[in-house]
Each structure stands twice: as structure tokens, then as C-alpha cells.
Structure 1
């Protein structure tokens, strides 16, 4: 993955359990594919569940913040090699934040020994995520996963 340089006002750091409420706010305020906390709870994604996975280390998350406000985050599951979510709050797109967070996620998965790195994304080419992942080396595997999303694999992740 090609790293970018973030604007000076932005900082990426490891998330803590103190960031959990902010993660839910960001997820609900993306420009495309926003998911409200109630819908996430229906999927089993609650603050308590996230707290548990963060403490257990089964989920690793990074946040991007500016002026003390979390504006984006990315989470992975090292046991499966999956990037589970990348979300950037509306108004903070196109600044390299997503690319930097995704690079941190991939580095973590590689350091964890993952040979296969993958994620699920919408099939809809009208969504920015469709082109974003492909432009950053992710390729469709031909498999569909939950909710009709397609599975993408990072080129070269099996090397």
C-alpha cells in the first residue's frame, strides 16, 4: 500500500476503549453507507461487545483525530486477516485519512502473520469505496459475503 502524508491537523493513533462512543458516532455520520447505532446493535455490534473485543485483542482499531475529535477509524480482526470496517466522517474525506488508516491495518495484519488479507465491500460502483479499494491494490475474489457485499483481497497478500 502506498502511504500518504496526512495534513498536519490530523493524527492517527491506536484506539482505546475510551474512544468507543466516538467510533459509533463516526460510523453513523459517513457520507455513504452510514449505519446508525440501532442498526449496528441489531447486527450484534454494541459498545459492550466492542469493549470486550478490544480488551481481548480480537479486534484492533486505529482512529484519526483532529482538534481532539475522532473523525475516522479502521478496525481489523488479526485472527482472520479481515479489515472489518473503515469509516471516515463526512467532511473529512479525500485527505488521505482512509489510506493511512488502511495502511496501519494492513501493517498490523502482516505483523500478526496473516497471509491472506481481505475485506467485504459493496458491489455498487457508484460508491466511493468501490474505486478506493481497487485503486489501493484490493481485488475481487468472486465471492459474495454477508449482506450481498463482495469479498476483496489485497493483491500480494498471499506472498
Structure 2
């Protein structure tokens, strides 16, 4: 099948929330997202007002992955894929699309939180793409990585 990429739209939010609970690692249920203040309404509003720009990957019209960033801070907030689409370059493409957006927004540095466990897929994924440790951790114990834009 062919994967298509496009900017996320507010109406993508329900599918994104469902997909977030289907990821192989670091899955978040609707309830867990809500406990963090991430709801259908807040996510939809962030896409609509431009504070949470992102891209989705679709296959036959169905969202199979997405990546979003916080426009105010330069944080890559989430990159999520269905397990069936891992290892095919979909995550890298989504991340590159969002990084390009943030470069256009004028950012010279982006950051994200990532598992500090070398056995986690995300640990090697981001480092392979040039993200480096800041030697700091968030309140959940995830490592903060940064990416310098040319």
C-alpha cells in the first residue's frame, strides 16, 4: 500500500487519540491522556489554532501515524505509529515534516522527551536521526533530547 502524508486537520483528532492507545511502546489510553489534560477538544483546538501543528500519514484514507509539535516551545510533543507501520520510514518522514515546519517557524533548536532505556525503540530511533542528550530528564524520568537545526 501507498502511504500519503499531509498536514493534520482538526477532524483527525479522534483517529489520533485512538491510534495513541494502539502503539507498541508508550501507549496512552483516552483516560490517561485526559489525566494529562489532553482531550479531544484540547487537541482539536491546538490543531485549529496552530499551536499544535503536525502531520499525519494515511493509508487508504486511514491514519497510520502522526507527529505533532508545540509551536510555542519547539517541543516535539508526540510521534506515534501503528505497530504494523514501524520500520518502513513512516516515523522518520513524519518527524522530518514537523522539523521542517519548525525550521520555517524560526526555531534553531527543538527538543523532546524520550525513554532513557536503551532497549526502547525510541532510544535508538532519535539518536540515529541526530538527536542528542541534554543530560536532563523530565518529571516522568524520560530523557530530554535536542536537535539543532542548520
Give the TM bin, normalised by the shorter chain: over 0.9
Distance in 1, matches of 2:108 and 2:88, equals 29
Which blocks of at least 5 consecutive residues in structure 2 are unaligned? none
Q: How many residues align?
A: 150
Q: Structure 1: any 5+ residue segments left out of the alignment? A: 1-7
TM-score, length of structure 2 as denominator length: 0.96
What SS does structure 2 have at the residue aligned with 1:125? coil
Asked if 1:80 corresponds to 2:34, the answer is no
What is the aligned partner in structure 1 of residue 125 from structure 2? 132
Q: How far does residue 61 in structure 1 lie from its aligned partner after superposition?
A: 1.4
Please identify runs of 4+ aligned residues in structure 1 that moved more than 3 A.
Answer: none
Partner of 1:101: 94
- Cα root mean square deviation, aligned: 1.1
TM norm structure 1: 0.91
Q: Could you tell me which residue of structure 1 aligns to residue 135 of structure 2? A: 142
1:24 aligns with 2:17: yes
Q: Determine the structure 2 residue equivalent to 1:117.
A: 110
Per the alignment, in what secondary structure is the counterpart of residue 41 of structure 1? helix
